[in-house]
């Protein structure tokens, strides 16, 4: 199934608008509240179908995803379970360096036992 087939065969999620105009999905950050990219606390998508549809329309994120065939199959495919697993795994890998750097940064300002 091609991405154009997928885009036309799935229902379109409601997209937030700004001043009555549609907002491009590339303007939203992953995890941004009140957008299709909103996440649950466990790093799964609140609305996986809306999240995937936004990725399909995102002219910045979609080409990067499509560079990796396995990633594209999971994030742009129809299997919601695989989508959620892949998203959670991907976000876990991305956030790990941030947590380490954030802990190192806060260690300068807090006693050692408060930054763990």
The residue to which tokens 């399909």 are assigned: 56
pLDDT at residue 106 in the model: 52
pLDDT at residue 110 in the model: 47
Q: How far is CA 91 from CA 78, 97, 113, in A?
A: 20, 11, 27
CA distance 75 to 87: 7
pLDDT at residue 22 in the model: 60
Per-residue pLDDT of the chain (116 residues; tens, 9 = 90+): 444 434 333 344 444 443 334 667 878 888 889 999 999 999 999 999 999 999 999 999 899 999 999 999 999 999 999 999 999 998 888 776 555 454 555 545 444 444 44
pLDDT at residue 6 in the model: 40
CA distance 74 to 83: 5
């Amino acid at each position: 199934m091609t991405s154009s087939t997928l885009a036309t065969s799935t229902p379109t999620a409601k997209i937030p608008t700004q001043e009555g105009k549609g907002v491009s999905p590339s303007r939203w950050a992953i995890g941004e509240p009140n957008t299709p990219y909103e996440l649950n606390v466990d790093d799964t998508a609140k609305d996986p179908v809306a999240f995937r549809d936004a990725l399909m329309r995102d002219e910045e994120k979609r080409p990067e995803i499509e560079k990796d065939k396995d990633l594209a199959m999971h994030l742009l495919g129809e299997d919601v379970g695989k989508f959620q697993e892949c998203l959670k795994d991907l976000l876990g890998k991305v956030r790990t360096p941030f947590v380490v750097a954030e802990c190192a940064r806060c260690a300068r300002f807090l006693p050692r036992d408060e930054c763990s």
